[in-house]
Structure 1
Amino acid sequence: MSTRAPISGVVTTFDNAATLEACLASLAFCDERVVLDSGSTDATRDIAERYGARVSVRPFEGYGPQKQHAIDLATHDWVLLLDADESLTDAGRAMIERTLQAPRADGYRLPRQEWLFWRWSHAGARANWQLRLFRKSRARMNTVPVHAAPTLDTGAPQDLDAPFRHYGEPHLADRVEKVNRYSSGMVVNKRRKPIRGLGLRIVLQPYVAFLKLYIGKRYFLNGWAGFFAARTHAFYTFLKYAKVLEAQRERDQSP
């Protein structure tokens, strides 16, 4: 029987006591679990140590740099990168175990199943595929603020039907707070180069974003939860462009 390549489960944390146990339990099959904490004040680090994770602490310097440092701490070349509010399903674990017996790519995109306020997303809705399983020697985190993600140095990742779950915000107020925070974080990135048709983007892009999620990804199958998710995503799209315009006007009016 073939043995699989060793793998490091990597997680970044900050006050994630409510969800970290499920995350680390789902990574029990990994050859090591690495947790990089940003200075939690709750039981996050105690939980990580109880699950046998190798815990380090580093002040938060941005999503991309923090995740990259966590990846660099991994002992093994193959990394499974999860957020602390995510967990791998049993089916996902089995698929990864089989795939790493004879990997055919340097990275794999996995389908993320979303918790939408009070329910899991409908099976007929389209999953959000993300690069989460990769050789750390062939991948780096990109520099996009807030939504930083790993990218392969060369070649394209393959899709692997190894689902993982994201325990999203349980309340609409939590989602709105996150939308406001994330849109502010995107302003610096959006201002790095001129945005053509900024006014039109402010007006039209929220509608496009809503339709892409509600119709394109079939969130209409999720009832009101899907509608709320699509509408708050449209609001996020509006805010990130509106805040760029606001910053431009404030800069132009400054003495």
Structure 2
Amino acid sequence: MREPLSLVVTTLNNAATLEQCLASAAWADEILLLDSGSTDATLEIARRHGAQIHSEPFKGYAAQKQSAIDKAAHRWVLLLDADEALAAGARDAIEQALQAPAVAGFRLPRRELVFWAFNHRGVRLNTHLRLFDRSRVRMNQVPVHAAPETREPVATLAGAEFLHYGEPDIHTKVAKINAYSTGLVGHKRTRGTRLLGLRLVLYPWWFFLRQYLGKRWFLDGWAGFINAVSAAYYVFLKYAKVYEAQRRRDGAAD
């Protein structure tokens, strides 16, 4: 007998991808959806899947997700974004892991839609803590990239891949890069950023090589190359905007 499981999803106008998200985990004991004002077919899709629907104004990525997690009926939670879905075979791995879990949670590998195709099978996937005991895990407070965190032991569940449909074209990728890099400026300035000039000059090149060669994005062909260049530009833009904010502050202080 496995632990009962709540699928938790936050939404805002996600009708384009929500169907595949909810269908991929329809076997969960509860589907809980926290919406922040959708005007498309998001809520209709959620009702069709028997979701418990809550509505709250958007409070920021971390606070919104934590509010949704807190509403779950069960201790064990599967947290997915509305543009994510479990891959084939993930259910068996998750149900097996929940038979007698000895850790606070499980990191799941995420396979990305890289513009026009999903990652090659040989790409080294990032893993994310998405299956966890909500009494032992909390959302961190990092803007934009908010994620569940715990100091207790977690394990990686290699057989439970999930798919991310969030960047279906280069236009969407570039728009996210611009929005996310702006959203991180305050956080990075609060924490302090040492050797900013060196980071601007050297870090993007290192990041490109780490992703393209180290993570084997070259296996994704031209999509992988474009993605690696875009990721390096994101890294550059984050620090460029921090530098800009510092110059504006210094100018205001003169």
Q: TM-score, normalised by structure 2?
A: 0.97
- Structure 2 residues not aligned, in runs of 5+: none
Cross-structure match for 2:106: 108
Q: What are the equivalent positions in structure 2 for 1:81-96 lying under 5 Å apart?
A: 81-96=79-94
Shift in alpha-carbon separation, 1:193–1:102, aligned structure 2, 3 A:
closer
Task: Give the match for residue 35 of structure 1.
Answer: 33
SS of equivalent to 1:138: coil
Structure 1 partner of 2:210: 212
Q: Where does residue 156 of structure 2 map in the other structure?
A: 159
1:51 aligns with 2:43: no
Match of 2:228 among 220, 227, 230: 230
* 1:136 counterpart letter in structure 2: R
**Counterpart among 5, 8, 12 of residue 6 in structure 2:** 8
Give matches, 1:130-209, under 5 Å: 130-152=128-150, 154-161=151-158, 162-209=160-207
Q: Tell me how far 1:251 sits from its aligned partner.
A: 1.2
1:160 corresponds to which letter in structure 2? L
Conservation of the 8 A alpha-carbon contact between 2:75 and 2:135: yes
Deviations 1:149-188 (A, max 9, x none): 0011x32310112111111311111100010000001101
Q: Give the secondary structure class of the aligned counterpart of 2:248.
A: helix
The unaligned stretches of length 5 or more in structure 1 are: none
**Cα deviation, residue 41, structure 1:** 1.5
Structure 1 residues 190-230: Cα deviation after superposition (integer angstroms, max 9, x where no partner): 01032110011011111111111111110000000001111
**Which amino acid in structure 2 is aligned with residue 157 of structure 1?**
V
2: CA distance between counterparts of 1:219 and 1:90?
Answer: 22
Normalising by structure 1, report the TM-score: 0.97
Equivalent pairs counted in the alignment come to 252
Q: Distance in 2 between matches of 1:159 and 1:37?
A: 29
In structure 2, C-alpha distance between the alignment counterparts of 1:140 and 1:101, rounded to whole Å:
23
- For residues 2-35 of structure 1, the C-alpha deviation after alignment (integer angstroms, 9 at most, x for no partner) is x111000000111110000000001111000011
Tell me the amino acid that sits aligned with residue 237 of structure 1. Answer: V
Cα displacement string for residues 96-123 of structure 1 (whole angstroms, at most 9, x for unaligned residues): 0111111121100000011100011000
Distance in 2 (CA, whole Å) between partners of 1:144 and 1:229 is 23
Deviation, structure 1 residue 50: 1.3
- From 65, 68, 82, the equivalent of 1:70 is 68
Q: CA deviation at 1:254?
A: 1.9
Runs of 4+ in 1 over 3 A off after TM superposition: none
Aligned to 2:237, the other structure's residue is in SS state: helix
- Is the contact between residue 136 and residue 152 of structure 2 (CA under 8 Å) also seen in structure 1? no
Separation of aligned partners in 2, 1:25 and 1:49: 12
Q: Which amino acid aligns with 1:184?
A: T
Whichever residue aligns with residue 116 of structure 1, its letter is V
- Give matches, 1:19-34, under 5 Å: 19-34=17-32
Rounded to whole Å, the distance in 2 between the matches of 1:63 and 1:209 is 25
Q: Distance in 1 between matches of 2:35 and 2:164?
A: 19
Retained in 2: the 8 A contact 1:109–1:129?
A: yes
Is 1:98 matched with 2:57? no
When the two chains are superposed, the root-mean-square deviation of aligned CA atoms in Å is 0.9
